[in-house]
Amino acid sequence: MLNDNPTPTISSIVSSASDEHGIELNFTRTNSKNDGFACLNVEKRGIERISPEDRTDPTIINTAMIWVSANLIVPCFAGGTLGPAVFKLNLYDSFATIIFFNLLGIIPVAVMACFGPASGLRTMIFSRYSWGYYGASITSTINVIASIGWAALNSITGAQTLRVVFNDSLPMAASIIIIAIITMVVSFIGYKWIHMYERYSWIPVFIGYCILAKVGAKYFTNSGMVSHNTTISSNSNHRLKISRILSFGATCFGTSASWCTCSADYNTYFPEDTSQLKIFLFTYIGNLFSMIPIQLLGATVYTGTYTSEKWNREYEINNVGGLLGASLSSLGSFGKFLLILFALSTVACNIPNIYSLSLSAQVIAPIFNRIPRFLYTIIGTILYILLAIVGANKFNDSLTSLMGVSSYWFAIFMVIVFEDHLLFRHCSFKNYNFEIWNNYQLLPISLAAILSGIVGIVGIILGMSQTWFNGPIAKAIARDTDAQGADVGFQLGFIFTAVTFPLFRLIELYFVQR
């Protein structure tokens, strides 16, 4: 690969090669004394289908480990705190809600992961077979926006924690930029380094959270026993309790299901005959044993604000970062080291967000595909840095809204992909022609998916409950209570879309026949 000529040339500076993870762009340099050295190995491949002979990655355990690292992070911890902090549920109700809705939300992520090895296609490209060529452009645009939003919120929680280490002397903007740059480097390089980073980065973070649970245990309590927290136990408040559980459940479902729009992206280099059951189980277990425990811990640690004035004060100042800092303050310098570890753990979550953002951006339109994938990581990083700086002051509201709205979008997206696979492809990948992945003349025309998606949006509007809007059904469920509404937007969006898509698709097939 390196030129033996001592004079530097273009080919000696930038050259292409192919390894077990596809085509790579290798940046090297040479000088007059030696033939140079490789300094960076960047994945060049974008949304192109990975042919069966190029799928030679044997490390199937990676399909579990990537999600363990991506979920053992401060943002998921923060998601657990919303149960008692925002929705005023007691600890046991928060636990039940977290467990139940995450068990449901992880299912579509694990199912979508199975499509990667079988097709060799990234998630948004695979969606062309159900959403159609132009419908997939819409889903990819929404996925880019969602990825930027999640990356911004992840950076805010990491930055809040990092500021606590430096006693608030480090500006929020600087903290966000530090986390974003580390994320960008790994996302820029690509698939191989992402898997390598995610395989090991969770280990010290997991140990840190175990220490946190041990140190803070004496302050934990069932929030229902605290007088200043709203206790929901009487029959008159039963409707209020249901409303809050449904709303918190929507945020939990939105968090866990958020990976379904990119989970196939990280399995496309596995052999075509890889066991679908193994992919499903590894993905499900990887999410299950990381997301649920960390959210349960978040809900539990928040109850320390009821028993400790210091914890409550620090939470008011720096939100989750302050809460973590207060709970580890007794450990001195070692506690600050753990805070740095927690802050940087958000990198493991932002990496798949930005990597999948770069792939989704290429699906939007043919002209977007002309821009190399790794350049989108830079563009996306700049955008989410700006968004994070703006949204840092209203973190809880931003987190709740994004988690809830995400669940609406994922409900529509996944029901169309899965119904098409189940009803019209008969759950068999042999019924797909993966050679036409980029041919708009042979792929579905998108009409059925778009129309059923619009009907799903109507259901979402009827059932959604956010600080800025409450649908009539959401209001009706929470009637005669002090709740703003019961968020059933994702349930209604799912049902409305599921009922109408098969009908529209049958009509589409009858008249268009593709």
* DSSP category for residue 331: G
Burial 187-200 (b: 16+ CB within 10 A, else e): bbbbbbbbbebbbe
Supply the range of the domain harboring residue 259. Answer: 57-224+231-405
pTM of the entire predicted model = 0.84
Rounded to a whole number, what is the distance in angstroms from the first to the last CA of the chain? 45
Rounded to an integer, what distance in angstroms lies between the CA atom of residue 504 and that of residue 493?
A: 16
The predicted structure's pLDDT at residue 395: 63
* Residue 278 parent element (H or E): helix 276-302
Contact at 8 Å (CB) between 462 and 506? no
């033939």: which residue's tokens?
35
Rounded to an integer, what distance in angstroms lies between the CA atom of residue 461 and that of residue 470?
A: 8
Maximum Cα–Cα distance for the chain, whole Å? 85
In tens, the pLDDT along 385-405 reads: 988 888 777 665 665 666 667
Q: What is the CATH number of the domain that holds 196?
A: 1.10.4160.10
**415 within a domain of the structure (yes/no):** no
**47 within a domain of the structure (yes/no):** no
| Mean pLDDT over the full length of the chain | 83
What is the SS3 assignment for 55-73?
CCCCCCCHHHHHHHHHHCC
């589409």: which residue's tokens?
508
Lowest-confidence pick of 239-243, 290-294, 457-461, 495-499: 239-243
In tens, the pLDDT along 197-222 reads: 788 889 999 999 999 999 999 999 88
In tens, the pLDDT along 472-485 reads: 888 887 665 555 67
Pick 504 or 266 by higher pLDDT: 504
Which residue type occupies 325?
Answer: G
The predicted structure's pLDDT at residue 56: 83
β partners of residue 27: 14, 40
State yes or no: pLDDT of 134 exceeds 70.
yes
**260 within a domain of the structure (yes/no):** yes
Rounded to an integer, what distance in angstroms lies between the CA atom of residue 330 and that of residue 351?
A: 32
The predicted structure's pLDDT at residue 24: 37
In tens, the pLDDT along 295-352 reads: 999 999 999 999 999 999 999 988 888 999 999 999 999 999 999 999 988 888 888 8
The predicted structure's pLDDT at residue 7: 37
State yes or no: pLDDT of 8 exceeds 60.
no
**492 within a domain of the structure (yes/no):** no
- Domain count across the chain: 1
Q: Percent of the chain at pLDDT above 70? A: 83
**1 within a domain of the structure (yes/no):** no
């409900």: which residue's tokens?
411
**511 within a domain of the structure (yes/no):** no
Alpha helices in 364-488, H assignment, sequence order:
366-369, 373-391, 395-419, 447-463, 472-477
Alpha helices in 16-171, H assignment, sequence order:
62-71, 74-85, 91-113, 115-119, 123-126, 128-165
Tokens of 237: 């408040």
**3 within a domain of the structure (yes/no):** no
Tokens of 466: 């956010």
The predicted structure's pLDDT at residue 170: 82
Which residues are CB-contacts of 461 (< 8 A; sequence separation ≥ 6)? Answer: 471, 489
